[in-house]
Amino acid sequence: MFTLAKKMVVLLHLISILVGVPNVLVVRGEQYAEEEGLQDDDCVEGEDASWAIKKWILTELDKLQKYEIKYYETSMSLVKDDEGSSWYIVSDGWQGSFYYETGKPGQERVGAYLYPDYSTAIVGVWRDHLLVSGRPTYLVEACRSGSVWTLKFGELEGPIMTYSPPSHFSYGVHPLQRDPYEARTVEVWKSEQPGGEDGLFTTREVMSGEVLAFYSGLIIYCESSLRALDRRELSDEEEHFRNMYNIALDIGEEDDNLCIDIPPDMGNDVNRYNATLGHKVNHSFQPNSEFVLFAAHPVLGTIMALTALEDLPPRMEISVNYGYNFTSEPDQPEWFRTLWKQFYSNSESDHEEL
């Protein structure tokens, strides 16, 4: 216990050195410019700073010398300069980026993970892109001059975090530990859909392709019984209710066949579980988001996420197609059968009018 506590003190000391006043990281991005001096008019703050980093990654990545690296279920682009600074850009930037000022793979090194908004970040100590210890923060300022980026972060906030993936018996994190990215991107309010209860809404502008929310929970085998020793016989509706927050973890490996599951007594109450909020999205046959595999969550690892199919303004209710197939599998929840019949009945009527 003494060794672990001492190590934590050392790690936190490293973090304080990294992000204490003036909270500056020197980041070198492009490799073809020669200018090294920073000028005041090269600096942008707040949302403009986030957009500058995002624009650089999303529009200039193809111009940079980079190396493709397999990263679990996705890939990363390594952009590295001669002085040791390195960016590991995940999934072309759509799943965020890791940045390290110094250090080598396989060793503990101080760095930052920037979420896909390139504003929210976790700064701390990492080993092979796995968080040893860190805390959330946000980008305050970004200055660029030629090949050099200088990033300034705000104060460290929230609990100390570490890589803690979910399992069949654990959510990985405390069920009420909000994800810092979700906390500034989405919120649960009363749904605007007819008959709806909770709904998931944006709290800021989100661009098409950007992550909206994460979907995590307990990790189980999809075929495993959720009531192995329960002798009660449940009706179809009761079974649907028990499985309402069960989604396939789409890792593409048939042998694994894993699912994410949140028991309904937890998933129905954000006062009991809000570590991720993707499960609160409602169904639509004309959705504005879709489920994707997210392999780079700094704390939870590989989970599912919702990404926007179009630009979304603040306070827009998010919807997704649940993918239920009523034609081949008619044993679906009553609410879905009703929506399916209404939607396709209206579609056929519109087609006849044309």
Enumerate residues 6+ apart whose C-beta is below 8 A from 10: none
CA-based nearest residue to 261, from 174, 331, 168, 175: 168
What does the pLDDT look like over 184-198, one tens digit per residue? 999 999 999 887 899
Bridge-based pairing of strands 43-45 and 130-145 is: antiparallel
pLDDT digits (tens, 9 = 90+) for 197-229: 999 999 999 999 999 999 999 999 887 766 666
123-161 as b/e: b if 16+ CB within 10 A: bbbbeebebbbbbbbbbbbbbbbbbbbbbbbeebeeeeb
CA atoms within 13 Å, Cβ hemisphere of 44: 13
| Predicted pLDDT at 38 | 39
**Residue 140: its pLDDT value, please?**
93
pLDDT along the chain (354 residues), means of 10: 39 44 42 36 87 90 88 91 79 94 87 96 95 96 74 90 96 97 97 90 97 97 72 76 88 77 95 98 95 97 98 98 76 78 69 42
What are 317-330's pLDDT values in tens digits? 999 999 887 766 77
According to the model, what pLDDT value does residue 328 have?
Answer: 66
Model pTM score:
0.85
Which residue in this structure is represented by tokens 């906030």? 157
Mean pLDDT score of the chain? 83
Q: What is the per-residue pLDDT for 15?
A: 45
Dihedral angle over CA of 232, 238, 241, 246, nearest 10: 50
> What pLDDT score was predicted for residue 182?
98
Predicted local confidence at residue 11, as pLDDT: 45
